[in-house]
Amino acid sequence: MTDTLTLEERRIALCLSVALAFLGLIMAAAAQRGVMALHGGMAIAVGLALAFIVGGSMYSNIEPGRDRLTHYYDAPIKFGIIMTLVWAVVGMGVGVWLAALMFWPEATPLWPATSYGRLRPVHTSGVIFGFGGNALIATSFYVLQRTTRARLAGAISPWFVLIGYNLFCLWAATGYLMGSTQSKEYAEPEWYADIWLVVVWLTYFTLYIRTLMRRVEPHIYVANWYYLAFILVVAILHIVNNIAIPVSWTHAESFPVWAGVQDAMIQWWYGHNAVAFFLTAGFLGMLYYFLPVRAQRPIWSYRLSILSFWGIVFFYMWAGSHHLHYTALPYWVQTLGMTFSVMLLVPSWASAGNAIATLNGAWHKVRDDATLRFMFVAAVFYGLSTFEGSFLAIRPVNSLSHYTDWTVGHVHSGTLGWVAMIVFGAIYTLVPKLSGREHMAWPQAVEWHFWLAIAGTLIYVVSLWNAGITQGLMWRAYDENGALSYSFIETVEAMLPYYAARTLGGALFLAGAILCALNCRVTMRTAAERVDATDRPLALQPAE
């Protein structure tokens, strides 16, 4: 990682590494024990490790020549993809384990750290932030450079963003195991981790916008609008939802400033838009770049992409209250949320349709190329899960589905079928390019992975649809005497076969992800020197 840095940059990197270790030392010394001290220790370890790597490279005088400016900056992207795969295996592995615990609770070890309630956020943060987030950051660096024909505007900052972000993910996951959480879904990490993420995110935004300003193309390509919306709105959501007062500066515990119904509304304004701008907007950026590139066809309609972009940015932000139907939230806010959720179907299907129509004339490629098929299926599942979402947001439907496994089925049709599939499509496109090869090392394994992923997703989603609808109907069933027909525990028992089926589906999906990780490892290890002939030429870069 250091050989693309000049000596001057290595000196700066060394200072930053030492600064990180110092920050960790302050945290550890202030907290003295507990989770914050451990997290300080982790920062020290990462800082020192980096200091050793960078420090060691100070003695080698092999500096990159001026010709560094004639290449895109791809080394950080490779690191980002490796981290994507590592988190995929960890996060989905925990997911399968959680799924098993739901029909086999006796398997919970009798110590606290791996109890269901602590592991669940390890799964959600691991897959959303670890797997999804690294994939977004890594591909955004790639797409940004290719569509602007400019080199990333910084030699160290891409590393800072990626390493800092992964430190955040590591803090999050290990914190939950130790019982440190704010309990807000998808925003569980405590205040110091939140502040750290703000620093990382501002660096990311600055890097992105500076590179964008160096572009040679007059226009900003669609994919970048989406990545930009992802970066900006996630920052707003993260900051507002996480405002909290720590009980003291030396403790991890804190209390949010928002309370009760306001807290609920802000949490789900955040939660739903984490779906919108983390799990949708960023991945649409990925779709808008990699699908046309792989299919070698231009995006079907430019007008439609404008419509769907602004539709998504505007409508999504109103929809969060559909998570709170029939609750103590004022009725008019629920109604607004429902209305906008239904309208949201228009821009969502516009995007999905635009992607699928782009494949017109390239259907033979979809048939022959598993990588493109991943992206095609992703677009289809995007359409399906947004349709389902708009449906679930209708108040009477939600009265049945809310609190049940139907929600979880919807979640995974979105995350497995859409998010994970598009990531795998992008990875299989990128990894050979970054490794100077034409294909993945095991092309056949991509085909295998595709079928594992499809089978896993379908089994998962169909079994949970059944589970959720059964559960919802059982909860509200009355017998002829006007009494509830089922006790709660009977409805739990009815779920067990579905939970078992879901575990199988998840295991297939995980097997596919592991295969992908191994395939990428072999491909990266046998990297060749092939120049990617289809890569867009880098424009002449200004001197640094």
Partner 1 sequence: MLKLHYNLEKISMGLVGAIIVVASIGGLVEIAPLFTIDETVEIPDDLRPHTPLELAGREIYIREGCYACHSQMVRSLADEIDRYGPYSLAGESAWDRPMLWGSKRTGPDLARVGGKYSDAWHVAHLVDPRQVIPVSIMPAYPWLMRPLGTELVERNLATLAGLGVPYDQDMIDNALVDARAQSQPDSDATSDLIARYGDDIAVRAFDGNPRQLTEMDAVVAYLQSIGTLTDAAKTILSQEDGS
User: Per-residue x/- marks for partner 1, 263-282, CB under 8 A?
Assistant: xxxxx-x-------------
Q: Residue 390 CB, nearest distance to ligand HEM (Å)?
A: 4
C-beta of residue 431 within 8 angstroms of C-beta of residue 443 = no
In Å, how far from its chain's centre is CA 188? 15
- The correct pick among 82, 357, 492, 527 for binding partner 1 (CB under 8 A) is 492
Sign (positive or negative) of CA dihedral 85, 292, 74, 153: negative
**Of the candidates 451, 456, 432, which has an alpha carbon nearest to the alpha carbon of residue 505?**
456
Decide whether 317 or 492 has the Cβ nearer to ligand HEC.
492
Q: Which does 99 bind (CB under 5 to 8 A by kind): ligand HEC, ligand HEM, partner 1, none?
A: ligand HEM
Residue of 78, 184, 238, 294 that binds partner 1 (CB under 8 A) = 184
Residue 451: both structure tokens together = 């079928």
Q: Does 494 bind partner 1 (CB under 8 A)?
A: no
Amino acid at 53: I
Write the DSSP symbol of residue 478.
B
What's the CA gap between 128 and 278, in Å, rounded? 8
CA distance 318 to 403: 21
Give Cβ neighbours of residue 127 (< 8 Å, ≥ 6 apart): 87, 88, 91, 92, 95, 415
Task: Compute the least distance from the CB of residue 156 to partner 1, in Å.
Answer: 22
Beta carbons within 8 Å of 259's beta carbon, 6+ residues apart: none
Query: Cβ distance 116 to 98 under 8 Å?
Result: yes
* Number of residues in contact with partner 1 under rule CB under 8 A: 97
Cβ-count burial of 461 within 10 angstroms (0-12 exposed, 13-18 middle, 19+ buried)? buried
CB of 385 to ligand HEC, least distance (A): 25
Among 68, 120, 365, 433, binds partner 1 (CB under 8 A): 120
Query: Least distance (Å) from ligand HEC to the CB of residue 103?
Result: 10
8 A C-beta contact, residue 408 and residue 464: yes
Measured in whole angstroms, how far is the alpha carbon of residue 354 from the centre of its chain? 23
Rounded to whole angstroms, the Cα distance separating 220 from 285 reads 12
**What residues numbered 298-337 form the site for ligand HEM, per CB under 6 A?**
319, 322-323
| CB 493, min distance to ligand HEC, A | 10
3-state secondary structure of 484: strand
Phi, psi of 477 (to 5 degrees): -80, 135
Nearer to ligand HEM, 271 or 425 (CB): 271
The one-letter code for the residue type at 243 is I
Determine, following the binding rule CB under 8 A, whether residue 225 of this chain makes contact with partner 1.
Answer: yes
Residue ranges binding ligand HEC (CB under 6 A): 116-117, 488-489, 492
Which CB sits closer to ligand HEM, 185 or 253? 185
Site for ligand HEM in 382-441 (CB under 6 A): 385-386, 389-390, 392-393, 398, 401-402, 405, 407-408, 410-412, 414-416, 418-420
Q: Considering only residues 335-374, where is the footprint of ligand HEM by CB under 6 A?
A: 341, 344-345, 348
Q: Which is nearer to ligand HEC, 314 or 488 (CB)?
A: 488
Residue 193's binding partner out of partner 1, ligand HEM, ligand HEC, none, with CB under 5 to 8 Å set by partner kind: none
Asked if 54 and 13 count as a contact pair (C-beta separation under 8 A), the reply is yes
CA distance 540 to 112: 57
- Burial (Cβ within 10 Å: 0-12, 13-18, ≥19) of residue 335: middle
What three-state secondary structure class fits 48? helix
Taking CB under 8 A as the binding criterion, the range among 350-358, 385-393, 476-484, 517-525 that sits at the site for partner 1 is 476-484
CB 304 within 8 A of CB 336: no
Instruction: Give the binding range for partner 1 (CB under 8 A) out of 83-91, 232-240, 359-367, 375-383.
Output: 232-240
Binding mask 181-210 for ligand HEM (x = CB under 6 A): ----x-------------------------
Cα distance between residue 147 and residue 536, in whole Å: 8
Q: How far apart are CB 192 and partner 1 at their closest, in Å?
A: 16
Identify residues 281-340 at the interface with partner 1 (CB under 8 A).
Answer: 303, 306, 310, 313-321, 323-330, 333, 336-337, 340
Q: Which is nearer to partner 1, 313 or 434 (CB)?
A: 313
For the segment 477-516, give every residue that binds ligand HEM (CB under 6 A): 506, 509-510
State how far the Cα of 157 lies from the Cα of 185, in Å rounded to an integer.
30
Closest separation in Å from C-beta 378 to ligand HEM: 10
Rounded to a whole number of angstroms, the minimum distance from the CB of residue 120 to ligand HEC is 8
**Exposure of 59 by Cβ count < 10 A (0-12 exposed, 13-18 middle, 19+ buried)?**
exposed
Q: Which of residues 122-161 bind ligand HEM (CB under 6 A)?
A: 123-124, 127-128, 132
Among 137, 200, 279, 520, binds ligand HEM (CB under 6 A): 279
Exposed, middle or buried by CB within 10 Å (0-12, 13-18, 19+), for 503?
Answer: buried
Residues at the site binding ligand HEM, with contacts judged by CB under 6 A = 92, 95-96, 98-99, 120, 123-124, 127-128, 132, 185, 271, 275, 279-280, 319, 322-323, 341, 344-345, 348, 385-386, 389-390, 392-393, 398, 401-402, 405, 407-408, 410-412, 414-416, 418-420, 506, 509-510
